[in-house]
Amino acid sequence: MNDQLRTLLSETRFARPEAVAEAADKRIKRASLSQSRQLLIVAADHTARGMIGVGDEPMAMENRYDLLDRLCIALANPRVDGVLGTPDIIEDLMLLGALDDKVIFGSMNRGGLPGSIFELDDRFTGYTTQSIVEYGLDGGKMLTRINFGEPGTINTLTSCAEAITELAAAKKIAMVEPFINVTMEIGPRNILTADAVIQSMTIGSALGSTSAYSWLKVPVVADMARVAEASTLPIVLLGGDQSDRPDEMYRSWEEALKLPGVRGLTVGRNLLYPLDDDVEGAVKTAVSLL
């Protein structure tokens, strides 16, 4: 991210806010979402929940220009299909011209801030269906944490169901990210077992008035063959926290990508902030698995 690009972003943001909508209108859209048999989507919506740490570095994502630089490196690979992000990041990438012929998913509910007393209140604070349509995005993604001991879970389920219905009416994909969640002494935690993932998928896939445009975003866990058969909906795999065993992680992705119904990867920190800090190399490895 050189000085010229930094100035372009900061000056445009200050003097020409209308340039964001102009960039969205001029962007070259992908003709078909399914032109790739399996998609590689770079996830970049963690910072909206205040999650700026990666591994042992609590402030790894503090520099927005550095994050954008890493995203541009990843998106420069022609086999990277697109990005998942909140409006601030997607709009920066649009202004930089980095999203031509790319798939874009807008992150919709980022209200459940880790460490807060309202963490499980996953309210919709990002993209709306209307803004997804207006800015020419391909769909919206929603975190759907299901905690049987948390009364607020019903609000999350209701809000997600309404968003799925609205997105389907607009013929936009709803990427549902369901988890069975439990409250522990250290706070809410997602259960990453095959049984829990399958249970979350059965709930998530039934949300909304139609599932015609619904996808499921699920973690890679043990016994993925069972997980892949838990739904007929398209499945994309999430990358999770930064791995200190990248070779093991890549092998698990590779095996999961061979399963019927698995349509690709939606990975963030493990591609943008890999253990060896080689973004280009991490992206090439992920591409080779598809």
Task: Measure the CA–CA gap between 208 and 161, rounded to whole angstroms.
Answer: 4
Q: Where are the domains of the chain?
A: 23-28+35-289
Task: Measure the CA–CA gap between 108 and 164, rounded to whole angstroms.
Answer: 11
Task: Measure the CA–CA gap between 207 and 111, rounded to whole angstroms.
Answer: 20
Q: pTM of the entire structure?
A: 0.96
Which region holds residue 115: left if phi is over 0, alpha if psi is between -120 and 50, else beta? left
For 201, the token pair is: 């998928």
Q: Residue 248, exposed/middle/buried by CB under 10 A (0-12, 13-18, 19+)?
A: exposed
Task: Measure the CA–CA gap between 161 and 164, rounded to whole angstroms.
Answer: 5
Topology of domain 23-28+35-289 in CATH is TIM Barrel (3.20.20)
**131 touches 125 (CB < 8 A):** no
Q: What are phi and psi of 149, to 5 degrees?
A: -100, 10
Local confidence pLDDT in tens for the 290 residues of the chain:
789 999 999 999 999 999 999 999 999 999 888 888 899 999 999 999 999 999 999 999 999 999 999 999 999 999 999 999 999 999 999 999 999 999 999 999 999 999 999 999 999 999 999 999 999 999 999 999 999 999 999 999 999 999 999 999 999 999 999 999 999 988 999 999 999 999 999 999 999 999 999 999 999 999 999 999 999 999 999 998 888 899 999 999 999 999 999 999 999 999 999 999 999 999 999 999 99
